[in-house]
Chains A and B, each alone.
Chain A
Amino acid sequence: MAIVETTELTRCYDDLVAVNSVSISVEPAEIFGLLGPNGAGKTTVIKMLTTILPPTSGTAVIKGFDIRRQAASVRRVIGYVPQLLSADGTLTGRENLLIFAELYDVPKSEREARINEVLDFLGLSASADRLVREYSGGMIRRLEIAQSTLHHPSVLFLDEPTTGLDPLARTAVWEHIRALRSQYGITIVLTTHLMDEADRLSDRVAIMSAGQVAVVGKPSELKKSVGKENATLDDVFINYTGGQPEGGAYRDVERARRVARRVG
């Protein structure tokens, strides 16, 4: 049975249809990628699934809870890493974790052990007591993943998890995402505009363009379906959407640049 199931999920802003009738289903312990250029509607889908944004129509169910009617229950079973680097730079890594452990009602007796566990898991034990503003971009990302998994969520949403990171930090984040699935069985839904990232990390991808899902499938099968030798997901994108894998609303590009600046 699917752990995330959306049914004709739609979000409009005045005249603009940002997400148009998206129906996808994600299996437990799957790494599912929403792939598309900036402005394709990926972040809007994630905002609706994480209950930040109410859908205009359609709905979604996460681990049996409806995002409209049972938003509070949904929030208890999910974790979320936004596209922006959102750890608080004025606090230490450990304090960032402590605040979220308390917000997520991690029992007091387990708090310290859980914090040490995630710090160790994400390779941040040595820098736990340093202010986050002294961290590198890759370290902040790992800290955010730690923050969002402290309460042992069933589903983790990652919005553009490697935007602005250098290749080495990117690979480290990928490894940690894979390990979260293999060690804790967490279902991961991530958005990315990087074809390479989607290809190497996801079990299945949904290719999005102009607010709609063009096609869903395993990267290998999708590439095979194009009928071209050594096809890439770029070819898949062009084949199924008829467009080029570039784009971007002003707001999305601005947000990506802001993250890049913070990463340094």
Chain B
Amino acid sequence: MTLNERDESHAESADRKVSAVVGFIRKTLIIAQMEILRLRHDPTELFSRAVQPALWLLIFGEVFARTKAVPTQGLPYLDFIAPGILAQSVLFIAIFYGIAVIWERDLGIVHKLLVSPAPRTSLVLGKALSAGIRGLSQAVVIYLLAMLLGVRLNWNFTALLGVVVIVILGASLFSTFSLVIASVVRTRERFMGIGQILTMPLFFASNAIYPVSLMPAWLRAISHCNPLTYEVDALRTLMVTGATSVYGLSIDLAILGGITAVLVTIGGWLYPNLAR
């Protein structure tokens, strides 16, 4: 092989790598596009999903704000829990994504996706992004409610962009976790049980409605292993004027991004189990 030929073959292999990456991203976005199309045809779910966070903010938040019993890093209590409630509603949407995946398996949609040339991990990441899109719709609702309740929201463009990123990351993380569980248990009945068991402990073992410093040592240890804690920390820092991060935004981002990447890899490996 001459030097020129070697250069050309290197260039070809680099081209192939670039087109593989472009193809991967495109396939991921197509799966997310399916979700946008679904939401456009039937947006009612967006409104019904808004009820629960509204109750948490309007009732739980308002009542606990009066007690002034929770140390909230110098923030009014409603300011403190608004990001926690956003993280919670994103978690609730994402953790039941496994049910949607099992439903798609029962309809044969998973089989057809697996027979397409799309890489398995792009299918899983596409599903994760879909959960992110639904999560963002929750963010819009919670921002509106928080505004009405007088929460001092940070309207800085970079901070808003940061909230978008964290919501998508949080939804991706928990929806992929859910997809991994669905790929292992494979039936709706078994999944429902596990989904119920997971959501509330994840929520309560986090800093969503009270700070970690208030917890007993054993719960504090658990909350430090809980990705929701880092999601709430990042959201609080970015959403509320005057809030400061406990762990540091870069740590929050690295933990959420790292766990999501690991889960997407595991998900890509386990997802075909659903069709077998």
CA–CA, A131 to B37, complex, Å?
11
User: Within 8 Å CB of B109, what residues of A?
Assistant: 86, 88
User: Within 8 Å CB of A52, what residues of B?
Assistant: 111, 114-115, 272, 275-276
Q: Are A50 and B115 in contact (CB under 8 A)?
A: yes
User: Within 8 Å CB of A53, what residues of B?
Assistant: 275-276
Majority SS of interface residues in chain B? Answer: helix
Tell me the smallest distance from the CB of B17 to a CB of chain A, in Å: 15
CB of B193 within 8 A of chain A? no
CB of A99 within 8 A of chain B? yes
CB of A47 within 8 A of chain B? yes
CA–CA, A75 to B115, complex, Å?
6
User: Within 8 Å CB of A90, what residues of B?
Assistant: 38, 41-42
Are A91 and B108 CB-contacts (below 8 A) given A47-B276, A75-B115, A103-B117? Answer: no
CA–CA, A147 to B34, complex, Å?
15
CB of B265 within 8 A of chain A? no
Tell me the smallest distance from the CB of B134 to a CB of chain A, in Å: 14
Q: Are B38 and A83 in contact (CB under 8 A)?
A: no
CA–CA, A82 to B115, complex, Å?
10
**Closest B residue, CB atoms, query A76:** B117
Q: Would you list which residues of chain A between 1 and 55 have a CB under 8 Å from chain B?
A: 47, 50-53
User: Within 8 Å CB of B42, what residues of A?
Assistant: 90
Q: Are B112 and A82 in contact (CB under 8 A)?
A: yes
**Closest B residue, CB atoms, query A80:** B115
Tell me the smallest distance from the CB of A149 to a CB of chain B, in Å: 13
Q: Are A84 and B106 in contact (CB under 8 A)?
A: yes
CB of A152 within 8 A of chain B? no
Give the residue among B33, B106, B113, B117 with the most A Cβ atoms within 10 A.
Answer: B117
CA–CA, A53 to B114, complex, Å?
10
CB of B236 within 8 A of chain A? no
CA–CA, A36 to B108, complex, Å?
21
* 9-residue interface stretch from B23-31, B60-68, B135-143, B238-246: B23-31
CB of A252 within 8 A of chain B? no
A104's partner among B117, B272, B275 (CB-CB below 8 A) is: B117
CB of A95 within 8 A of chain B? yes
CB of A102 within 8 A of chain B? yes
B112's partner among A72, A86, A92, A105 (CB-CB below 8 A) is: A86
**Binary CB contact string for chain B from 33 to 51 against chain A (1 if under 8 A, 0 otherwise):** 1100110011000000000
CB of A258 within 8 A of chain B? yes
CA–CA, A53 to B274, complex, Å?
10
Are A103 and B33 CB-contacts (below 8 A) given A82-B108, A84-B106, A86-B107? Answer: no
B41's partner among A91, A99, A102 (CB-CB below 8 A) is: A91
CB of A100 within 8 A of chain B? yes
**Closest B residue, CB atoms, query A78:** B115
CB of A85 within 8 A of chain B? yes
Give the residue among B41, B113, B115, B117 with the most A Cβ atoms within 10 A.
Answer: B115
B37's partner among A80, A91, A104 (CB-CB below 8 A) is: A91
Q: Are B115 and A147 in contact (CB under 8 A)?
A: no
Q: Are B23 and A88 in contact (CB under 8 A)?
A: no
CB of B118 within 8 A of chain A? yes
Q: Are B108 and A100 in contact (CB under 8 A)?
A: no
Are A105 and B117 CB-contacts (below 8 A) given A53-B276, A90-B42, A131-B41? Answer: yes
A258's partner among B38, B106, B272, B275 (CB-CB below 8 A) is: B106
**Closest A residue, CB atoms, query B123:** A103
Q: A82-B112, A86-B112, A99-B34 are in contact. List 14 more A-B contacts (CB 8 A).
A: A47-B275, A52-B114, A75-B115, A78-B115, A85-B108, A90-B38, A90-B41, A90-B42, A91-B34, A91-B37, A95-B37, A102-B33, A103-B116, A104-B117
Please provide the 10 A-B residue pairs with the shortest distance between their CB atoms, ordered closest to farther. Answer: A84-B108, A86-B108, A82-B108, A80-B115, A103-B116, A82-B111, A102-B30, A75-B117, A90-B38, A50-B115
A-B contact pairs, 26 of them (CB 8 A): A51-B114, A52-B275, A53-B275, A53-B276, A75-B115, A75-B116, A75-B117, A80-B112, A82-B111, A84-B108, A86-B107, A86-B108, A86-B112, A88-B34, A88-B107, A88-B109, A90-B41, A91-B41, A100-B116, A102-B26, A102-B30, A103-B27, A103-B113, A147-B112, A148-B112, A258-B106
